């Protein structure tokens, strides 16, 4: 019998030159290359960008690695936290700015 892939959820805060430079649009584009990623990207009022991503462990790892690789010159620090998997999270979107 096949085992189900492990689903995970992560919240990542990126700091550096991440606002006003197309960072969110690039993250959204990267999500299109990683089928099965659900979540969002948004600016925080403290100058950071937040990404919440959920999906198969392998897919999320590849997605976050692609962000780091493609946007490395903009990123000074990255903070990753585990989140519980949300049953109702589908698709990937750019959300409005939220307090940090």
Q: Report pLDDT digits (tens) over 1-26.
A: 666 778 999 999 999 999 999 999 99
Give the residue-averaged pLDDT of 36-47.
96
Domains of the chain: 7-94 (3.30.70.100)
d(Cα 12, Cα 52) in Å, to the nearest integer? Answer: 6
Residue 47, Cα to own-chain centre: how many angstroms?
A: 16
- Establish whether 74 is a catalytic residue: no
Which of 11, 43, 48, 73 is an active site residue? 43
Give the residue-averaged pLDDT of 45-66.
97
Q: Report pLDDT digits (tens) over 59-80.
A: 999 999 999 999 999 999 999 9
Looking at residue 4, its pLDDT comes to 72
Looking at residue 100, its pLDDT comes to 58
Angle at 36 between CA 33 and CA 77, to 5 degrees: 65
- Establish whether 24 is a catalytic residue: yes
């Amino acid at each position: 019998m096949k085992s189900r892939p492990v689903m995970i959820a992560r919240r990542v805060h990126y700091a550096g030159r991440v606002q006003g430079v197309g960072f969110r649009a690039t993250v959204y584009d990267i999500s299109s290359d990683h089928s099965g990623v659900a979540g969002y990207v948004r600016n925080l009022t403290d100058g950071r960008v937040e990404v919440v991503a959920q999906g198969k462990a392998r897919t999320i790892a590849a997605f976050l690695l692609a962000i780091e690789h493609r946007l490395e010159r903009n990123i000074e620090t990255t903070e990753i936290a585990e989140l519980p998997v949300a049953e109702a999270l589908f698709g990937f979107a750019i959300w409005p700015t939220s307090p940090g």
